[in-house]
Structures are given as structure tokens and as C-alpha cells.
Amino acid sequence: MVTTNRFDVLIIGSGAAGLSLALRLPDHVRVAILAKSNLEEGSTLYAQGGISAVTDPQDTFESHIADTLDAGAGLNKPEAVRFTIEHAPAAVDWLVNLGVPFTRHNHAGDQDSFHLTREGGHSTRRVLHAADATGRAMETTLVSEARRRDNITLLEHHIAIDLITAGKLGLADNRALGAYVLDRTRKRVSAIPARTVVLATGGASKVYLYTSNPDTSSGDGIAMAWRAGCRVANMEFNQFHPTCLYHPQAKSFLVTEAVRGEGGQLRLPDGSTFMERFDERGNLAPRDIVARAIDHEMKRLGAEYVLLDISHRPAPFIREHFPNVYSRCRELGYDMTLEPIPVVPAAHYTCGGVITDMYGRTDLDGLYAVGEVACTGMHGANRMASNSLLECLVFGTAAAEHIGSNSVPRPPNISAVC
């Protein structure tokens, strides 16, 4: 067992939550970020839709709050919902200042305003996006900024095995002291001490055979927190995204909800529509309602998939708004400008997780959790579309401000016991 250099903050996970937290910490704070694979690889990279925020003068916080509570079946924590939504515009401004290329209107006199799309559960257009690859635009921008910071050490191909805690070492005043980490390149385990540990490991959707998430979404952070004595909650609320492309070579390729937001229709194999029979909002009902409706129809008919049809929109519009989805479909033999594409629901988001407060603090001193790994109360029984990247940013900021403003005692020299 090797003990490495100590850090002030050890962040396990390199998605939007972990990176935004790291970038918000003061420059004098020594930070290490662990990534299981390449730094960019994770759920953020594959997020297509966007980030929801009240930026239109005709929209309101109250409307966004009401939509979120409704989508979550009223099991959300209202204070967490309000906190997140009221801090959304500032989070968007921060991303814009970093250079995230959100799509803007391209017609005369309106080039400076964001193009807003609408997704399931939203009562109006409020989703900012970078074409249909918002997560990739955010992740690459945040990674680029992190690589520029002298106080941030990036440890790619490192897997956290378990948390180091005072209790496990037989010390008094139980708290997080760091983590045991496998260096996949050198094939050795190290103990990395840190004043503060942050779990930003994402969710657990990879436990399902069909999921929109990459291999990194294996529930590691939730398990580590549980073993350290932290409470977890709402683990039964696993969200299925209604529309993943049905193809043997693309079982995890998400088709963004914005396709339905821009007029896409769900159809049965015979071409008839069906969502109006399940919810008055039709194709733009919250994800849980749409996914259950699709599942019901597939089982009723013995069908392997349903169809998503946006071919009635002009081809240039489709290629401009959904370039990545269009390109991937073409690779697999589908042309969404001419025909419907086959889709099925797939596991997408873990609505529960490690219980935290409004600063991301868990039950264990010195341990924070942000992003999908956490249960802040924001989502309730079902996350509304494009509220996930928002939660990552808002709670990443809140945790960074709390960590930066509080002096945490240095961990003891643990090399003798590791």
C-alpha cells in the first residue's frame, strides 16, 4: 500500500458536478479529481438535451418550480427545488462566461438570445442547449478549464475502492480522511489522504441491461457512502428515458427529448399515435408517464419498439437542431428526415442517492456528495428533463462555497496504518 501526496479536497468523479465544484474552489485549495477512465468519460458527456433555467422574461421561477414538483409526484423537497431553480440563471451565466457554446437564434435581430427548446414536463420553452450535444459541450469546456488550473491535479484511470474514515482506522471523532484508490495504469492501490472528500460519481443505471448511461454509472459512490455509515434514500426511483434508439448496435444511444419538444410524435408500429390516451400533455408528459405508456403498448401489442416520428419537419431543421442524432441514425440505416425511427425506454437516471443537505454535506463529517450520486430532494419520484445538469452546477457551487469558507483539520498521518 502506497500513500500519496495529501490534498485539501479529493473529488471522486469528473462530470459536471465534480468539475464545477473544483473550478469554484479558491485557487489556494489543493484539489485532486479522480476519473475511472478518461477525464471526459461519464454521464455528462452523453447528456444531449440541455440545462433548464428561467431565462425568458415570460417564464417564472414559480412555473419552473410547479413543473418540477409535478414531475416528481410531489415527493420532492420544496426548499431544494426552489434553491436550485432560483440559482439556475447564475449557473447559466457562469457557463456562458467559461465559453460553453449554447445555441442561439440565427434570425435577424435576435442573434444574441438563446434558442430555448421544450422537453417533457415543462410547461414552456426553458431548456438551453448546444445543438443536441449539450453535455459534451459542457464537459469539454469544464475539462479544458480544469487542465489550466495549477491547483487541480487530474488523476485519470483511477478507481476509488473505498473511503478512508477515522472510524475504520480506530480513531476518535469519525470523519472522512481520504480514499483507497486503484491506479489502473500502474495496477497498484494507493491511499490518498484529503481534508475533504467529495463524491461526484453519478448514478447506478448500469445495473440494468439496457441503459443510456456509460459503464461509469455503476453506483460506486452510493455504495462507498453506505459502507461509511451514511443514509441513502429513494433508491426505488430509477428513471427510464422513453426514447433510446432500438438497434443491436446502439442499445445505449439516447434520442434527446428535445425531438419531441420540437414536434416529434410517438407512434405505434401501425403509425397511429397513442400518448393522448395516457396524458393530456401527450408526447411532452413527464418521462415516467411516457416510459410507462410505451412499455404498456409494447406489452399489449407484443411489439419490440415504438416509433418516434419528426419527419414532418423540414429536413434542414432536423439536421440543424439534431446533428448528432441524425448522424448516428444515418450510420445505422435510418433517415429521420424521411421516416420514423424505432425507440424503447432504457434506464437513465438514479433519482435517489446519498442524503445531503443544501451544501452537499452527508452524514459523515468531511464527506460531501453532489450530482446524481446525491439525494438532495430536488427530483422526488421522477426527475424532470434537463434538471440534472442544473442540479450538478447549483449544488457543486454550494458545496464549493461551504468547503472554501470552512477550515477543516488536516487528516492524521495515515501511512502507518494503510
Q: How far apart are CA 364 and CA 342, in angstroms?
A: 46
Please give the sequence-ordered ranges of beta strands (E in DSSP) within 184-329, or none if there are none.
Answer: 188-199, 232-233, 238-245, 265-267, 306-309
Annotation marks residue 287 as catalytic: yes
CATH 3.90.700.10 domain span(s) along the chain: 239-347
Q: Would you say 286 and 382 are in contact if contact means Cβ atoms under 8 Å apart?
A: yes
Question: How many Å apart are CA 122 and CA 203, to the nearest integer?
Answer: 23
From residue 210, alpha-carbon distances to 206, 243, 245, 283, 389 in Å are 8, 12, 11, 22, 22
131 with 103: CB under 8 angstroms? yes
pLDDT value for 305: 95
Q: Grid cell 439525494 — which residue?
A: 375
Average pLDDT over every residue of 378-389:
94
* Residue 416 confidence (pLDDT) above 70: no
Of the two residues 13 and 250, the one the predictor is more confident about is 13
- Helix 78-86 crosses helix 61-71 at what angle (to 10 degrees)? 140
Look at 33-37, 122-126, 233-237, 408-412 and tell me which has the smallest mean pLDDT: 408-412
Instruction: Express each pLDDT in 235-262 by its tens digit.
Output: 999 999 999 999 888 777 889 888 998 9
Closest by Cα among 244, 239, 246, 245 to 205:
239
Catalytic residue, from 118, 287, 361, 383: name it: 287
CATH number assigned to the domain covering 239-347: 3.90.700.10
d(Cα 21, Cα 39) in Å, to the nearest integer? 15
Domain with residues 2-236+351-405, CATH architecture: 3-Layer(bba) Sandwich (3.50)
What tens digit of pLDDT does each residue of 176-230 get?
A: 999 999 999 999 999 999 999 999 999 999 888 788 887 778 899 999 999 999 9
**pTM over the 0.95 mark:** no
Find the mean pLDDT for residues 375-401. Answer: 96
Are 216 and 204 in contact, with CB atoms under 8 Å apart? no
- Which residues make up the CATH 3.50.50.60 domain(s) of the chain? 2-236+351-405
What confidence score (pLDDT) does residue 110 get?
56
